[in-house]
Amino acid sequence: MGKDAQGAPAAAAGGTEGGRRPTGVPPAAAAGGEGGGAVRTRPEGDPSPVNVEVSERPLRRRFTAEYKARILAAADACAQPGELGALLRREGLYASHLTSWRKQREAGALEALAPKRRGRRAQAANPLAAENERLRRENERLAARLKQAEAIIEVQKKVSEILAPTPSAAPNERSS
């Protein structure tokens, strides 16, 4: 059995964890006792089965501004060697999180720590766009009514031609 960096047996400290320094947590306990994978929990007394299905696309974690500020304060308070690493492991964070959050904090305090929406920014609503759309719909409606009215007028012309008496040469008309 090997020894860890402090000279204690490796088995007592939780193993070497693949060449990393031992954390003091046995590998089976760290993996939820299942030999690997994420630990799934549910509220006490909840009879529903645990959803262990992996989503097609991973969900991006979102951190609140209060959480970021609290973690930054805790990270800034770390004075002993290893405290910062323990904080990051406990919270499941990376050092890059702290770096980007510190930049955000310096750029604009708490509002800069609020999560930003990803993707393209929404276009400002053109105040004339709604009026333009309303007028376009009204124009289409009036064009349809005009077409219907022209069709009715054509039918009325044909009916009047059919029902009107044809002008024939009347015998009592005088020629001059």
Q: How far apart are CA 77 and CA 45, in angstroms?
A: 38
Strands (E), the chain: none
Of 53 and 163, the structure prediction assigns the larger pLDDT to 163
pLDDT exceeds 90 at position 142: yes
121-128 average pLDDT score:
81
Q: What is the pLDDT of residue 37?
A: 39
**Partners of residue 3 on adjacent β-strands:** 9
Mean residue pLDDT of the chain comes to 74
| Residue 75, C-beta contacts closer than 8 angstroms, at least 6 positions apart | 84, 87, 98
Please work out, in degrees rounded to the nearest 5, the angle formed at the alpha carbon of residue 167 by the alpha carbons of 164 and 172: 130
What are the φ/ψ torsions at residue 167 (nearest 5 degrees)? Answer: -70, 110
pLDDT digits (tens, 9 = 90+) for 39-88: 445 556 666 666 677 778 878 888 888 888 899 999 999 989 999 999 99
Tokens of 18: 């693949």
Contact 161/153 with Cβ under 8 angstroms?
A: no
Q: How far apart are CA 88 and CA 103, in angstroms?
A: 18
pTM > 0.85: no
26-44 average pLDDT score:
45
